[in-house]
Amino acid sequence: MDSQPAQQPLPLPPEPPREPILNLPGALAAYVALLAVIHLRVLLPPDLEYWTIEVFGFIPRRYDTTLLAAPFPGGTGAKIWSFVTYSLLHANLSHIVFNVLWLLPFGSAVARRFGAVRFFLFMAVTAIGGALAHLVTHEHEIAPMIGASASVSGAMAAAIRFAFARGGFLTLRRGDADEAARVPAQPLLRALRDPRVLAFLGIWFGINIIFGIGSIAVGNEGASVAWQAHIGGFFAGLLLFSVFDPVPRRQATPADPD
């Protein structure tokens, strides 16, 4: 009987493609869904819809102690919660879409790195940073400020702490999104000496100062851009990043102060 050739082993199936770098993590998807659900308030009658802005928007005049107290809706409670709730409101569909588009690349990386609880706390803290900057620069202002741009700016600032590190998601190396989001962060002062970070900062500050993209103040006096809130949120994210970051740092050297 003729011998038969040995059967060759079947080829292994190809490895599944790596996770796309912009595939939304659950925390960010939940945040975007929350913004979308809250935006359904625009379907309310106009008087009630604007009432939600007065109650949950950030109004510097609420905190004015030099003038007679104004009867703003929400009372004392609004003085507390509006430091965060203003960031969940948007003036119109284009406003919310613009903020979400800015948030997707940077917020995805930050959400993967921080996890859901840290991510939501971080977005709240950067919203507070933006509100404080707006309060300092808009004393006596009666027009409510709304928009997630301060928090979006904070997420961008947090992302640049690790985005340009070796293996980070802005180093032009494709790879696993979770892995790219968890590379050790650069020390702050090293990051601020990185030409790529400086170029990013220059472009970002230029856009905000010249065009004032993002947060909107709405009221009887018309709309104006609350760009100071963007900067406040950005600095809050940049400086407080290490408080939230769960990823161990690389061993620091004398040349790498934070």
**Of 1-10, 44-53, 70-79, which one has max mean pLDDT?**
44-53
Q: Give how far the C-alpha of residue 24 lies from the chain's centroid of Cα atoms, to the nearest Å.
A: 14
Tokens encoding 126: 């950067």
Ramachandran bin of 53, using left for φ above 0, alpha for ψ from -120 to 50, beta for the remaining angles: alpha
pTM above 0.75, yes or no: yes
Q: What's the rounded Cα separation, in Å, for the pair 204 and 105? A: 15
Where does the pLDDT of residue 247 fall: very low under 50, low under 70, confident under 90, or very high at 90 and above? confident
Tokens encoding 188: 């702050």
* Residue at 149: amino acid letter: S
pLDDT at 52 over 90: yes
Q: Give the sheet arrangement for strand 224-225, strand by strand.
A: 145-146, 216-217, 224-225
Contact 135, 59 (CB under 8 A): no
More confident of the two residues 63 and 173 = 63
CA angle (37 as vertex; 93, 94 as ends), nearest 5? 10
**Residues 95-118: pLDDT tens digits?**
899 899 989 988 999 999 999 999
pLDDT value, residue 199: 87
Contact 165, 229 (CB under 8 A): no
**Residues 198-241: pLDDT tens digits?**
888 888 787 776 655 544 544 444 455 678 899 999 999 999 99
